[in-house]
Amino acid sequence: IGETDMIHHTPTFGHIFHTFFKPHPNIQKQIDSVSNKLGLDPGEYSVAHCRVRHPKAYPMGESFNGQFIANADKTGLPFTDRFLELSVGIASRSIQCVSSLSDVAKYPIYFMSDSSDLVQYIAHNLTDSNFVTAHPEWFQDQNGINATTRKLVTTYNVVAREQSIPNAHIDKNKGRKAHEYYAAFVDLYLGINAKCFSFDIGYYAAFAAKISGTNCKIRHHKAVWGEDDVTEMKASAPLCHL
């Protein structure tokens, strides 16, 4: 009937969300703890998100060490060899793209992913001199993905929460105890409080950006096959061309 949408892509969407939903006190406690520990003040940090276990991030039927990517959300993938190298490359691009946005470089970049192994590697291992010393062969090639990503995370203030409880995919990891899903909501709310976003496939980080109402967002990858899950985000978040 010719009406203009006054909810999607406006602050109204976030206002409605916050009216209906509040974090459980146990989750809010973790949100506050991570924010305080990492110095994440609302509106004064950005988010780089990677969905490296999504089937559409790779060619159809892709497998790693005999495990198909289609089952990765449920069973996980071994963080070794080609999957490690590809994941680190995706993470590196997500950080590069978000850091290209206005004023991002002077604030922390909160890194989150559907792979806790990747978060541990990017935000904790690569900034640990003991880890680097213990794996010299990974960093010998100064133009290799490990060395260049290490330079990136040390140039920018890339941070992440500790990964003792990974992000469980609620649809694919059913039947777990309630506290095992807390981490997914902690990262969601930390995303909602961010200034700028870099995200790729799926709706998780895009949903957080939509709730936040920010216009500071960029897509660092698009689906390799099929349509992107978030058609509505295509127009509102430009594709990174670095």
Q: How far apart are CA 192 and CA 205, in angstroms?
A: 9
Range list of β-strands (E), the chain: 46-50, 63-64, 67-68, 109-113, 158-159, 196-199, 217-219
The SS3 call for residue 180 is helix
- Is residue 69 pLDDT above 80, yes or no? yes
Q: How far apart are CA 211 and CA 38, in angstroms?
A: 22
Q: How far apart are CA 53 and CA 55, in angstroms?
A: 6
Nearest to 166 by CA among 63, 52, 85: 52
pTM comes to 0.93
- Alpha carbons within 13 angstroms on the beta-carbon side of residue 155 total 12
Cα three-residue angle 237-194-197, rounded to 5 degrees: 25
- Is residue 1 pLDDT above 50, yes or no? no
pLDDT of residue 75: 83
Q: Mean of the pLDDT values across residues 78-100? A: 96
- Is residue 5 pLDDT above 90, yes or no? no
The pLDDT mean for the chain works out to: 90
Identify the band that residue 3 occupies on the pLDDT scale cut at 50, 70 and 90. low
pLDDT tens-digit readout, 150-172: 999 999 999 999 988 777 777 77
Question: What is the full DSSP assignment across 142-164?
Answer: TTSHHHHHHHHHHHTTEE----S
pLDDT of residue 119: 97
Nearest to 167 by CA among 30, 64, 13: 30
